[in-house]
Structure 1
Amino acid sequence: MPNVAVINYGPKSDYAAMLPELADVLHVYSHNALANTDGFAEYEHVEDCEFVPYAELRIRELAKKAPFSHLITDNEYDLERAARIREDLGIPGQSAASALSFRDKAVMKQVASRTVRTPRYARLHTIVDLTDFVAEAGYPVVVKPVKQGGSRDISVLRGEEDLVAFSRRHWREDLMAEEFVDGQMYHVDAVIAPGYRFVASSRYVRSCLGVFSGHNNGSLQLHPEDKFAVRLEEFFDRVLDAFETPEVSAYHLEVFHTPDDELVLCEIASRVGGDRIPALTRATYGVDLHATWLRQSCDLPVPPAPAGVPDKVHGSISILPQGRPVKAPGRPPFEWVHHYEVNEALAPDAVTQNSTSHLCFVIVEGADLAEVEQRVLQAEAWLMENLEEAAGA
């Protein structure tokens, strides 16, 4: 009989809707409070669940009475914990070694370098490791935590002045340095399972790091018949060839396309991409990335992967918090706007915290990447021109 443990982060996750066949055997421990949980076998909103070990302790205690058939999470920061519990309790799914290789960016690059080009990198134990790496690789150099996400806590050192400024910050024990790779960044989003394969490619509107200097960002889907989309999918397969992969998984790959036409791995994660990526995928392909991944992880059926070619693709742009009280305008007045949403939970004077921070976002549709990009930039310009000063400004 199925018995399913869930470690959740997302505030909008609806497991009763995604896994209705299993609702009464779900034991859900959630970082954020969830709605629609009445029919679960157990549900607890665990404050700071992402950071505290309570969920793991509780799952291990319950397993002594009734073994779990599945343990799932779609939160990047819980993948290693979930894998460790699975191995200890004999639950099928991603192993601890596999989870580590997709979470630790230094291990990730070591593994991926077997099959694709990766940036030069080094773990940093002291400032001397950083100065040695700068001497070898030259500026600019990217410094980041090995297990962080959402472009958080990343620094780009472009010269000695930046290095000195960085040396005045509190040192962290989880840092790595890597060479700066010039080029546009693309992402590939996929769900792979026995008898199931869905892969879609997109280009970021701008660098994800640009949000920290005030640049709005989003994604532009490539048409699946685009030759570059085919090339990106082939690169994705070569990356996966280097890894120990679970039988069922979602993936989010980020890759640089350099000015000399080379593809270079940035990062790959064994989870669904964030920001507007799931919404864009639903709009174009009708695929719910989270439900497709989690249902197959629990041995439940899903609709076949899309076989036809979509008649349109989509793109998004997220307008950043402005750091001062502003009011987002209404829906942009263009017939090709697919969806528009204001972040009502944002504090009036909020600042950008990570690459998914937003005041509002818009999703547009078009025939191909070029048309979608033109419309995304037009919608962005309209939104920026129509921001209004709010009370308290």
Structure 2
Amino acid sequence: MVDKLPVSPSPLLTAPGAVRAPDDSPDAGVAWHHGDPLGEQRSAERSAVVIDRSHRFVLAVAGAERLTWLHTISSQHIAALADGEGAENLSLDVNGRVEHHFVQTDLAGVTWIDTETGRGPDLLSFLTKMVFWAKAEPRDGNELAVLSVIGPDAPAALEGAGAAAPTEPYAAAALAGGGFVRRMPWPTDSSFDLLVPREQLTDWWARLTTAGAAPAGTWAFEALRVAALRPRLGLDTDERTIPHEVRWIGGPAEHGAVHLEKGCYRGQETVARVHNLGKPPRHLVLLHLDGSAEGRPETGDPVTAGGRTVGRVGTVIDHHEFGPIALALIKRSIPIDTELVTGPCAASIDPDSVPTEETVQAGRAAVERLRGR
């Protein structure tokens, strides 16, 4: 089930050609596309586009102990982030299931966090309750709004708009007039987020489009994200999802959200057990859908093989090159060439999307040695 909150329409919906995302979409309130959704995807891969993602929930954490405190209650190693550095991070429940996924940036004494619209208030509430005696002050930070600039020409467009493009993933630089620009490792190799003062959103959009970034909608962003095998909380996860299932393992250098060499945090026992001894029960794969079918599956629909449920479908999208595709959580035991069905569509697993599992875990190897094998 996708979490949604009422969102005020973005002022950028008045831009020429802007088509609002459906009301039942997690991207309601911003532009779905600007008249040519497939062309916008091609532009994102060949030149540069700017996408309105101002519906994302932003919060801020000030205080001298903000990083060490957040380090103890989340999955990423962020205690020693330097000014202008960032990471992806998770909040897990006691059983290691994913509750929140967020991107954080530490800049000028404040940690800025942006996350899914529907999960933001719960994340802010959780952080506020966990402060206790720490010198950390979580608050609503929605005075900043998110724009994404994507494509090989994105650095030039940023420079033309007056923003220097950081060169390292998650690195951030302050913007004149407030906010910052941050490099992201996905959905393409040349992706940037600008978190700008909300009252400057229209101005930054104009500056970026004048500098050569073509307007694009969230359809383009989502298509590129799915093709890059990057999950989205609430779409490609369910209430049972653990980090290993959806490729969120790794520190900032691995573009992950769960560091495997850090101290205790809620849910760590499950992460360590799966990493050292077991395998995740499901894994995230890319599905190719039968484009001749009437209709498409919906997020949360079962994926079946021979009438037996073997997984759930997540984000479903039309890609400019691959046609209809989807992310899905599939039982790890299902062979790659299994004929699948989801919704009205036949589906097949993209073999290149299946994670390799050739490495023997340290814990499993130790158990085998003790058994004399």
Q: Give the TM-score, by structure 2 length.
A: 0.27
Q: Give the TM-score, by structure 1 length.
A: 0.26
